Amino acid sequence: MSAQTLSFARRLNSWYRRHARDLPWRQTQDPYKIWISEVMLQQTTVTAVIPYYEKWIRRFPDIRSVAATGEQEILKMWEGLGYYQRARNLHRASRMIMAEYDGHLPQRVGDLRRLPGFGPYTTGAVLSIAFDQRHPIIDANVRRVFMRWLGKEGPATIIQDGGITEVLMDVMPQRNLRTFNQALMELGALVCKNKEPLCHMCPLRNDCRAYASGMQEIIPSREKKEFVELDVAIAVASRRGRYFIQQRSAQGLLAGLWEFPGGKLECGETPTQALVRELREELDVEADDIVPFMRTRHFYTRFRVHLHVFTCRFRGKPRPAGDHRWISKAGFKDYPMPSGSAKI
């Protein structure tokens, strides 16, 4: 082991022992629980994940229990975390693991990469954290740490990962890999932050090229995120104390979820006009007693969606393209919905 490797790992691990957060998935070496946490943490903050993780583990304590459950319940348990394809992949992978690996997560790269949802990051996380194998993990935090440490200018994209992986393998120790990789991610989350990094607290600052040149605030370069603004009219239609919901198609971003009917405003339309048009086009019904109910907004991927919600009654029998239900207020707990509909 080189002096650089020994120094890097020792400094990093020493810092981690003193500053690591006490997180529920760090109290276990169960590969299943580590896998669940890593999937949830993709695109979601640690604070938001903790209650979902704890609820999930109570309901699904092992791979067998996930595999034995229907997709709709899986999606309902995931409701609010977003990026629902993660949940579908987790469900499909669990069934494959039961069928092909007797309910145990495999420990080889090739076997893991065959499973739905196991890209380079998830594969590396499971092999390293669950099985303590010498495998790199590169997430946004690790990418930022190494770009600054190496003084690599430019945006923090996966294009950088080839060079980072090579250096990461050079400084990675031969043992206790779960600690090393978690320490790197923790350093990026707590110290080497995207904005206003806390360089005075960093164990790697003495040989960090960005810090030495005063460029830690501009490495990596930040691209302004541009949101596409969407206005959507939504109908909360009632009939004898029940409410109409419909299921989205099996394809697409929110596949299989349930929602209130409605759609995007076209150029020049008011929300009320859009609602009337959408109900005619989607369900072949007219809307009576249209009353503004609420306005809210939510974000997904690159969209900022403004929801204009109305209560109304249908005139005519709705004829949706897919499945639909009239449900009571209590029944909403059984149907997974996108975040926008769940706010209503």
Identify whether 38 is a catalytic site residue. yes
Name, in order, each residue with C-beta under 8 angstroms of 216's C-beta and a sequence gap of 6 or more.
Answer: 148, 197, 199, 208, 210
Q: Which sign does the torsion angle of CA 196, 199, 202, 207 carry?
A: positive
Which of 38, 79, 259, 278 is labelled catalytic? 38
- Dist CA 249 CA 282 (whole Å): 13
Query: CA distances (Å), 237 to each of 79, 131, 278, 287, in order?
Result: 22, 52, 13, 9
Closest listed residue to residue 81, CA positions, set 27, 56, 31, 44: 44
Q: Which sign does the torsion angle of CA 252, 258, 261, 262 carry?
A: negative
Name, in order, each residue with C-beta under 8 angstroms of 47's C-beta and a sequence gap of 6 or more.
Answer: none
Closest listed residue to residue 133, CA positions, set 186, 178, 183, 184: 178
CB–CB of 242/327 below 8 Å? Answer: yes
Q: What DSSP letter does each residue of 36-98 carry, written as one string?
A: HHHHHHTTS-HHHHHHHHHHHHHH--SHHHHHTS-HHHHHHHHTTS--THHHHHHHHHHHHHH
Amino acid making up residue 245: I
Q: List 312's β-bridge partners, or say none.
A: 237
Q: Which sequence positions are flagged as catalytic?
A: 38
